[in-house]
Amino acid sequence: MPIRYPVSQPVLLGNEKSYALDAIETTWISSNGPYIARFEKALSDYLGLDGCLVTNNGTTALHLACLAMSLKPGDEVIVPALTYVASANAVSYCGARPVFADCDPDTWNLTLDSISRAWTDRTVGVMAVHLYGLPSPVDRIAELCSKRGAWLIEDCAESFGATVDGRQTGGFGDAAVFSFYGNKTISTGEGGMLWVRDRQARDHARMLRGQGMDLNRRYWHPVIGYNYRMTNVAAAIGLGQIEMVDHHLAERRRIALRYRRRLEPLAARGLLKLPAQIEGYVSTHWLFSVVLDHCGPEGRDHLMQRLAENHGIETRPFFVPMHRLPMYSEGQSLPNAEFLGAHGLNLPTYSGLSDDDIDEICVALEDAIEEIVIRSPSGDKG
């Protein structure tokens, strides 16, 4: 059956088309043009972060963030084991070493304990990720880092609009990065954003973004830079998206609430775990996700296949933990990340998914769990 419910899809309901068309008609299609400054200002205003810099994707923004922190070979950065690979790779691009910390089994994010266990005398910083949209305890991680003289980068690729005690994620550390890939809360197709607290380091990142060219002297390149710029067309789409962000966030709240209500009976029977709810930590519900406690990786794959083939419902497994990937494997054991990587499942989450759609997805999920876990568990209890 063709996919009827993808895990995510961009929803372009506002001025995206007219702004992008304007960029094309005025011929400002490259990385100059008015939409870049307008999108950067809109991001700064929304997030409450001065001097946001847009980039061509979130990964390059992470690389610039690491460079802005003067990360160098020999340094170590604590990165959650359960994240998307770009968080770790950005550290490696600088010749430094990502050291993986385990996550909390309920929040799926870093904890102060797991960070402390991973800390060595080479640790220069922490990269905190807000996995699937739920903020990690960045307020407390920021305190820990500043006490120990280390920096904090927030990888907010998945958390646009999430808050901690009413404050947007992104403003707790020394730098923050967002992604505007097509599956994110707001999208520019490919795109990203960087914010750096220190003004001098921010200017350095801006220079590195634009081929290392001096900000006040054309064709004078005092350092080896990169071309990590966003195009005006992408920024035009981004401006249309951010104008609608409150709508998209409200949609995600409605969707998460509906999933939670429909799946609570399964959770009460111990057949799955729902995302944690922590007072003061407001998720953006990037991808509503569940953990299938009694269904190991093979059972989960079977369940995903069944949902896709019989119902046209796309789901995704949680990320493979970083320390299990060939380039980062050193034989570490980080049991929570491993368990979640093997049992976690992302469900369709995008604005416009109706309550009826969610009900249909939940019925199909319930049937699949009954079949795979209860009626024919086949020894795959993970």
Chain residues that interact with ligand PLP, rule: CB under 6 A? 57-59, 62, 83-84, 86-87, 129, 155, 157-158, 179, 181, 192
Distance CA(213)–CA(211), nearest Å, equals: 5
Q: Looking at beta carbons only, is 88 or 358 nearer to ligand PLP?
A: 88
Three-state SS letters, 147-165: HHCCEEEEECCCCCCCEEC
Instruction: Name residues whose C-beta falls within 8 Å of residue 103's C-beta, 6 or more positions apart in sequence.
Output: 80, 81, 82, 109, 110, 111, 114, 131, 334, 336, 337, 340
Q: Looking at beta carbons only, is 58 or 321 nearer to ligand PLP?
A: 58
Closest residue to bound ligand PLP by CB: 58
CB of 57 to ligand PLP, least distance (A): 4
Q: Looking at beta carbons only, is 299 or 348 nearer to ligand PLP?
A: 348
Distance CA(224)–CA(208), nearest Å, equals: 7
CB of 171 to ligand PLP, least distance (A): 18
Q: Looking at beta carbons only, is 151 or 181 nearer to ligand PLP?
A: 181
Q: Which of 75, 63, 132, 65 is nearest to 103 (CA)?
A: 132
CB 207 within 8 A of CB 215: yes
CB of 139 to ligand PLP, least distance (A): 19
Instruction: Name residues whose C-beta falls within 8 Å of residue 319's C-beta, 6 or more positions apart in sequence.
Output: 82, 83, 84, 85, 341
Q: Looking at beta carbons only, is 59 or 123 nearer to ligand PLP?
A: 59
Size (the chain), residues: 382
CB of 85 to ligand PLP, least distance (A): 8
Q: Looking at beta carbons only, is 42 or 230 nearer to ligand PLP?
A: 230
CB of 168 to ligand PLP, least distance (A): 17
Q: Which of 63, 99, 104, 108 is nearest to 319 (CA)?
A: 108
